[in-house]
Amino acid sequence: MSLVTTLLEQCGIQASLAQGDDFQKWLINEAWNKYKDSRMNKRIVIENQVKDLNIKLSNGTVRKDYTASFSLSKDVVTDFWIDGCDQLGLKCDISEENECTISGKPSQPGDFKLKLSYKYDGMIDGEEPLSIELPIAFNPNPRSLWKDIPTDKNVIFYKDDCVCEYVKVEEKEETGPRKDIVAASQRGRSHAQEGKARDDHFKLVHCEDSDWYIIAVADGAGSAKYSRKGSEIACETVVAHCLEKLKDSAAFEEKIRAYKNAEDEETARKQMANIIYDIIGNAAFKAHKAINEASKANENSKPKDFATTLMFAICKKFDFGWFIASYWVGDGAMCLYNEKKGTSKLLGIPDEGEYSGQTRFLTMPEIFKDATAVFERLRFSIEDDFTSLMLMTDGVSDPMFETENNLNDFEKWKEFWNKLKTGFAEDEIGGVDLSDDNEESKTQLLKWLSFWSPGNHDDRTIAILY
């Protein structure tokens, strides 16, 4: 008798020893298989429950703070851990409540998989834990993808990738502090990415003898192959013409005084307009012609290959205030900003099409088709003191103002003026110290121009009389 046959006999079953042995084998095998199935089913149930949680880790950016969290119900999972965090520069914290937080600064870009291993209630010692892969992706920092390829110095009409200048007009006993000009021009990231030249240009002059300020800023069209030369010719030509006209400006200044004191405002204004036309209008026309000449001199090129915008202003301080005259064709912004009075005055209307690329250029014949076309772009006025006169290409005005509406809003100019002074702390770009005679401000301004604005990587140029 064996234990099994005895048990069987108690149930009224007569079995031989061999039958008892065989029955025992059969019974245990049968039960063991059922047991295994049941264990396996439980594993699968739990596995599916975890899968159905659909744990997703958000994408991160290399070297930028990253956090992602999820939690697993204690009813499903009793214990879990994650492998693979260390190699990615991340750490993983799991709380008593089964809340998991993955955080850190991802060290490398790419697609990776973390392994989440877990145990559930009813597992036996030594049983292999379950696991699931969690995909996680880190993008490169978009800024690190921008290349800065220097422009080939042998390229025709080469110009430096960035320039800055300060025109210091020192204070004199009889005048007190006098305004200075600071300007900077920075090649856009889209050009730097491909090693293409800067298309913007500026030119500043203060005539020591007559005390006139002359400032010109131009933006060569991105689509025109020699526009970098076009913008240069435009600035150089208008400044040279104005300087010639203003070197000995006694007669002109008499007219300005007469205009200031005129009783018949309308007649005086018309007379003044004709004089301004001679200086400013002709300067612009001369620049237009100079570009046409340059195009003729250069084989296989048309004037439109030199397409450029242009804005320039002349101004001088008198005992009764400032006289300012200007001309503007194309986009960008030219603004007389007066913080104390709370005014911002746009010196013209930006030529913006429905799309920002559809601007007008100095090189277009219709810009000079008749006198009216020229007069429309001229502005002149007498102003009390002002905070600053700013001229900038659309590389600066687009990201900073976006729309024409904002260009006409004093509050937006105030924000802009403050931004110039405070800089961009989050990008470690300092402000510009616009105090009198601070020559350092030119390098500060150049640095300031490298601010980050997604989708705005055009050349940037700004000139400030302050």
Partner 1 sequence: MRRLPVYILIDTSTSMRGEPIEAVKGGITSLIESLNQDPYALETVCLSIITYNASAEQIVPLTEVYKFHLPEIIAKGRSALGEALMLLTSKVPEEVHKNTPETKGDWKPLLFILSDGGYSGPIAKPIAEFKKLTFGVVVACAAGEKSHIDVLRKITNDVIQISTIDSTSIKSYFKWISSSISTTSMKIETAGEYDMAIDALPPLPNEIKVLRSTNN
The set of long-range contacts for 141-148, using a CB threshold of 8 Å and a minimum separation of 24, is 141/61, 141/62, 141/63, 141/64, 142/61, 142/454, 143/452, 144/62, 146/189, 146/192, 146/193, 146/457, 147/192, 147/193, 148/189, 148/192
- Using CA atoms, how far apart are residues 213 and 371, in angstroms rounded to an integer? 25
Q: Write the CB contacts of 335 (distance below 8 Å, at least 6 apart in sequence).
A: 344, 345, 346, 347, 389, 390, 407, 413
Tokens of 21: 């042995």
Residue 61 or 98: the one with the smaller Cβ distance to partner 1 is: 61
Q: How far is CA 139 from the centre of its chain?
A: 19
Residue 221 or 273: the one with the smaller Cβ distance to partner 1 is: 221
Residue 126 or 454: the one with the smaller Cβ distance to partner 1 is: 454
Provide, rounded to whole angstroms, the least separation between the CB of residue 446 and partner 1.
22
Residue 55 or 382: the one with the smaller Cβ distance to partner 1 is: 55
Backbone dihedral angles phi then psi of residue 15, each to the nearest 5 degrees: -135, 145
Report the DSSP pairing between strands 130-139 and 310-318.
unpaired
- Using CA atoms, how far apart are residues 194 and 148, in angstroms rounded to an integer? 8
- Using CA atoms, how far apart are residues 33 and 230, in angstroms rounded to an integer? 87
Provide, rounded to whole angstroms, the least separation between the CB of residue 189 and partner 1.
8
Residue 260 or 412: the one with the smaller Cβ distance to partner 1 is: 412
Residue 128 or 354: the one with the smaller Cβ distance to partner 1 is: 354
- Using CA atoms, how far apart are residues 156 and 49, in angstroms rounded to an integer? 67
DSSP-assigned states of every residue in 88-151? GTEEEEE-TTSEEEEEE---S-EEEEEEEEEE-TTPPTTPPPEEEEEEEEEEPPGGGG---PPP
Residue 60 or 348: the one with the smaller Cβ distance to partner 1 is: 60
Interior CA angle at 42 toward 38 and 43, to 5°?
115
Residue 78 or 139: the one with the smaller Cβ distance to partner 1 is: 139
Provide, rounded to whole angstroms, the least separation between the CB of residue 188 and partner 1.
9
Provide, rounded to whole angstroms, the least separation between the CB of residue 356 and partner 1.
4
Q: Name residue, tokens 């305004």.
A: 179
Contacting positions for partner 1 (CB under 8 A): 56, 58-59, 61, 109, 111, 139-140, 142-143, 145-146, 189-190, 193, 222-223, 355-358, 402-403, 405-406, 453-455, 457-458
Report the DSSP pairing between strands 60-61 and 130-139.
parallel
Side chain identity, residue 262: A
**What are the Cα distances from residue 81, in Å, to 39, 89, 115, 230, 345?**
22, 17, 8, 65, 63
Residue 154 or 405: the one with the smaller Cβ distance to partner 1 is: 405
